[in-house]
Amino acid sequence: MSLDIIALNHRNTGRRWPKTPYRRALRQRFPRVLYHQRGHIESGFSQHKRCLGSALTARGHQAQRRELILRVLTHNLMLLAATA
């Protein structure tokens, strides 16, 4: 009975910086402090949809933009009124 050993695939060989210039630039300029804020955004979207619904009634692009701006302003006013 022979025992075969499988060679490891060393993907992370200690290299800390990417080889290609574009990936290296991305890593240098990436805003790590802002990246982990998605939970706050998703919570706000969820609250907005619960209070005002998830569907827009306007059909045209410009009308949808105006309706969305009004909905966001309305939601912000509702939050201000709740804290006062």
Q: Are 74 and 84 in contact (CB under 8 A)?
A: no
CB neighbour list of residue 48: distance below 8 Å, 6 or more residues apart: 71, 72, 75
* Of residues 50, 47, 48, 69, the one with CA closest to residue 58: 69
pTM for the full model?
0.56
- CA-based Rg of the chain, rounded to a whole angstrom? 24
Rounded Cα distance between 31 and 42, Å, is 19
Look-up: residue for tokens 């919570």?
43
What pLDDT, on the 0 to 100 scale, is given for residue 33? 80
Tokens of 71: 């909905």
pLDDT in tens, 21-80: 998 898 888 888 877 788 888 999 999 999 999 999 999 999 999 999 999 999 999 999
1, pLDDT greater than 80? no
